[in-house]
Each structure stands twice: as C-alpha cells, then as structure tokens.
Chains A and B, each alone.
Chain A
C-alpha cells in the first residue's frame, strides 16, 4: 500500500512529463497545462495522506524498491525514506508546485512552447521529489542532479535570446562545481562508514565510536557544504541565482525561490548528526550564511529590475537560513524555509503578474501607480512584503526572529550582521513596493492604456500564497511550537531544549521590529516623501555604482577564473594540440612517402619482373651452395 502510494507520489509528475513531451503539442495549450497541474496535484494529495499518517503514528515509513549497487560489503539500496522532514518538504514542494502550475496555465498561455514548459516543470517536480524522499545519499544525488538539469532547461527556456542561454549555462556550471563537492562528500562518507543510508548513518553516529574519524568527517562535512553552497546560492557560488531570473517568472518562483534552492538546507538538515560533531564546519557555515545575507542584501538595495531585487532577496534569506544551520538550529532554518517559500513565491508570482500587465517590462523605473489598476496583486504583494520584512504577526516575523534569537545567544557579531541584513531587507522590499505601486505611472502611454488586473487563474494562487504568508508563522509560535514537536524524531536534541521567553527575547524582538519599521520608514521617506526615482544607469555614481554592478563580482570571476581558463584553452589548442597532431600526422606522412617511392618499383613490365625473379632465384641458390 505505502509502496504503491509512494510510487504514485513520485511517478505522477513523471507521467505528466511523458504526456506533455510526447502528446503535449497535439493536446493544445490549456489541456497541456491542466495535465501538468493535475499531475502535481495528485502528488500533493498523496503527500497529504502521508502527512496525516506520519503525524498520527510518528513513525518514519521506509520503502525498499530494489538493491541498486552491491560491491563486497558496500551496498546501496534504491529506496525511499518518508519521515517528518521529507514529508514536510514534500508538502510545500507539491503544494506550492500545484499553485504555480495553475498560475502558469494563464501566465504562459501566449507562449508557443507551453507543452514543453509544463513538461520541464513536471520533470522538475519529479526530480525534486526524488531528492527529498531518497533513502540514501545516492538516490538524493539523482534528484540533486535532475533538478539542476531542469533548472538549466527552464532558465534557458526562451532560448532564442543568447543572454538567457548564457545565464542557463552559468547556472549549470556553477552548480556543477558545487555538485563535485557533494560527490566528494558522498564518497568520503561511503568510504568511512560503508553505507550511504540515512537511517544506518544516523545509527552509527548515535552509537558513537567514531572519534578517531573526526578529521575525515570534517572534510566530508565541508565537501557536503560546498555542494549546498552551489545549490542554495551561497558565497562564493551565488552568482548564478540572480542571472537565473532570465527564466519565466513561475520558474523563478518555484525553482529559484521556493524549492530547489532550499535543497542545500534540506541536505544539511538531513545530515544534521554529521554536522553536529564538526563544530569547525558549522562555524564556517554560520559565517558564510551571515556574510551572504548581508552581502546580497546590500546589492538588493539598488537593483532596478524587479526580479533581480527578489533574486538578491532570496540569496540573502537563504544566507539567514544557513546562519541558523551553522548555529545548529536546524528546526529554525526549516521554519524559515517554509515561511520563505510562501512569501517569496507570492512575491515572485506577484511580480510576474505586474510584468504580465506591463507586457514584459521589468524595470521598476518604468512602473509606478499600479495600486489602483491591480488591487489584488498589490494587496497580496504587500502582505508578502510585510512578511519578509518581519512585521509582527506575519509569518516572516516569527521565523526571522527565531534565527536572530539563536544568533544572539551564540555569537553577537553574527546577530548584528543578521539584523542589519533584515533592516536592509525591509528597505529594499518597500522600495520595490513604493516604486511599483505608488505615485504616478512612469511607463509609456500605450502601456498605461493596457494596464489591467490579471485574470483569476493568476490571482487565485497569489491569494492562497498570501494567506499562507500571513498565517504560516502559526506552525511555530515561540513557546508553543508545533513544528519543533513534529520534528523531534529527526532532531533528537529538540526534545530537551527549553524554549522560554524572557526579557532578553522580548527586547530582541522589539529591536527586530523597530529595525524592520525603520527600514520601511527609510524607504517611505525616500520614495514617497522625496518622490525620488532611481537614476538612469549612466547617472549612478560612487558606492551605489559598485552596488549596482554587484560589487563587480561577475567581472572579478571573469578576470581571475574565466579568462585564465580561456587563455589556457587557447594555449592548449594552438600549441599542444598542434604539436600532438603534427606528431600523429608525421607518422602518416612518413608511411605515405615510403610507399610512394616503393610503388615506382611496380613498373608493370613483365620482362623486368621475370629478370628480377631469375636473379633472385640465382642468388638464393648460390647462397644455399655457399652456406654449405
């Protein structure tokens, strides 16, 4: 029963993919979209069933499909592990996935390749489910690579634009670097413990007796963290995510905000027992996370492309999650993943709605005053912005507050960095809101004429996500956390963790709230009171210019990595390859010359042949006589 349901959960999106790939074109755009949406909805329904079962029984469901690899005493099964963590992840992957599929039916309707869009989206969901429910690191790795592939396909979906293709390649290559780290980590774990199975590994770690291997485990943990860095866009491998906004907006919402980029956090939470015994690596994770949060937030302050702002915001929020992971507060990171999935998906879909209404315009300098024309989009995006800014009672307030609380208890500097990043978040989110929805419209007359609220297929997912962005925080209220209780079997130390609210906590909360309001106020003062609009590209000067150009990180990577590799390639092509081929061709030429000279002997004169024959015979006979 469970096996069949798990297969249905996994294969429904795959079936959707097959149908859309082979018959999508003949089915028509709407039918193709409906099939794609249904496929993911089926998975969502099955997930709900598993969720209710696991909530009740508190028992993980293990499913072994078949033996996959067996070499002497090293064995890898192909199996699934449905426990609290993976089912939680499935809930929002398939849930938000269904909403975004629904949204895409209308959003992508004017595109000519709708069926392949839904095919790729379905394939993505299939691989994401594989990643989440795999019972060992290798099955997870299949999903990990698969989502990377789908991300590549979808970023480069509008492949006629070369810039978009470059962005897709960049995302793929950056992810490959991370994947190499992950692979090395998997190899080391396999070498040390002869198993890759999560449950078996956890047992080994909990029984102890691994103290002598701690050095190698640290290396493995660091390698796994590099993998997480690539997938979850952390310094230094984050540059692909902003460029990935080249893909259609639903893709940005699903893959590059809500699901795929959280895979790194999922993996680290999954392997929490391993990271718990390597404090050095945890410290690195926390610092990288905090620095990424601040770094990306500063870039987000001055971006003018509405999706770029959201992209840097995603990088920044992922940084906060890594900060929590590094401090060992896995449940807090998971909590923020969930709330972030809701409000960021809502923001992306809202920005998609705006872009849709403006006929493809993404520059906020050409927007403004959309509040009246698009009330539903405005309200939903406002709710999501309040949530991400950490305004009390919205979901982001609870999750972000917990991260900062944990940071405060462990390390004050990290808390300061996180808080500053949060204030910046509030500022750039409301900068986005004010520039997009308030004041006068700054676009062309023709665009103004066409302004309209998006149709209901687009607004319904927005409304649903906005509701969750509002109430999502209820799953983990301070002091009475359903989430912590739910995750206790996965994260054992939660059981004896005291979670009380003292004066410090209330003070920190107040600081966070005031910080958020200050950020919003600054944005209000600048963009409403002073009515300023970001200047044109040429007029940006000073530090803003550095920020606007993203600290020139792309240029620096280009100069220190891409260019030298190109020079090396040119050297190999022009020098090494030429000399090697000269050598190979040399053999051919010598042989050719010998045979060219040799063929002159073949005159075709039979008399000469016979003469040579007789002479030869005489020579042989004389030799035989003389030899005796």
Chain B
C-alpha cells in the first residue's frame, strides 16, 4: 500500500479530492434537479472519504479508515431518507426542481 502511495504521492490524492469536492459544490449550486443535487452531495462526501483514507495510509493509522466506514454507513442511511423525501415531494408537486420548493419563504 505504501508503495502505491509513494509512487503516486500524497499531493495528488489531495488534488483529486479537492477537485471532486469542488465538482460537488458546483453541482449543488448550479443544477436544479434535486437528484443531481443529491448526487453532487454524495460526490463531496466521497471526496472527503478519499482524503480520510489517503491520510490514514500516509500516517500508518487505521483510525481514518474506521471513520470512513462510519461515514459510508451514515451516508447510505441518509440517501435512503433523502430519496424517500424526494419521492414524496414528486408525488405532491409533480416535479423535483428545487426552485419550486419555496414553502419556507418568510
């Protein structure tokens, strides 16, 4: 494992992670389809997971990987709930464009 890390370099892992995270952020900001937004959030999450794993290997410490398992389990649960909400919204409004969700207007 260390070999692979050494061959590629920790910096590249960080760059990849940052790029993935930024893609997620821009996806959330620019797309109006709720499912795409949802996917973008997952990309951000996984960018962080990647970083965790990379540093875990770099520091020779398994704790980071443990956290990743946790966060993946939580993310799975969150996806289930989130998708259920989206289904419910679709049934009520007939679309899942987030611009239509303005019930919280003050």
Contacts and interface: CB of A to CB of B under 8 A. Distances in A.
Interface of A: 599-607, 610-611, 614
Contacts of A605: 99, 102
B104 A602 contact: yes
Interface string B91-106: 0000000110111111
Contact of A603 (B25, B32, B98, B102): B102
B29 A611 contact: yes
Contact of B105 (A604, A607, A611): A604
A606 B101 contact: yes
B38 to A, nearest CB: 12
Nearest to B26: A614
Nearest to B106: A602
A605 B32 CA distance: 11
Nearest to B30: A607
Contacts of A606: 98-99, 101
9 contacts: A600-B106, A605-B99, A606-B98, A606-B99, A606-B101, A607-B29, A607-B32, A610-B29, A614-B28
B29 A604 contact: no
Nearest to A598: B106
Contacts of B99: 605-607
Contacts of B29: 607, 610-611, 614
Contacts, number: 30
Contacts of B104: 602, 604
The 6 closest A-B pairs by CB, nearest first: A602-B106, A604-B105, A604-B102, A599-B106, A604-B104, A606-B98
Contacts of A601: 106
B18 to A, nearest CB: 12
A614 B29 CA distance: 9
A603 B105 contact: yes
A607 B106 CA distance: 15
A231 B25 CA distance: 88
Nearest to B32: A607
Interface string B32-51: 10000000000000000000
Contacts of A610: 28-29
Contacts of B98: 606-607
A601 B105 CA distance: 9
Contacts of A602: 104-106
A614 B102 contact: no
A605 B25 CA distance: 17
Given A611-B29, A614-B29, 14 more contacts: A599-B106, A601-B106, A602-B104, A602-B105, A603-B102, A603-B105, A604-B102, A604-B104, A604-B105, A604-B106, A605-B102, A606-B99, A607-B32, A610-B28
Nearest to A599: B106
A136 to B, nearest CB: 68
A132 B29 CA distance: 90
- Scoring A600, A603, A607 by chain B CB atoms within 10 A of each residue's CB, the highest score goes to A607
Contacts of B32: 607
Interface string B63-106: 00000000000000000000000000000000000110111111
Nearest to B102: A604
A607 to B, nearest CB: 6
Contacts of A611: 29
A604 B28 contact: no
B103 A604 contact: yes
Contacts of A603: 102, 105-106
A599 B104 CA distance: 11
A86 B32 CA distance: 97
Contacts of B102: 603-605
Contacts of A599: 106
A88 B70 CA distance: 97
A607 B104 CA distance: 13
A604 B106 CA distance: 7
- Scoring A603, A605, A606 by chain B CB atoms within 10 A of each residue's CB, the highest score goes to A606
A610 B37 CA distance: 11
A287 to B, nearest CB: 78
A614 B25 contact: yes
A602 B105 CA distance: 5
A215 B29 CA distance: 89
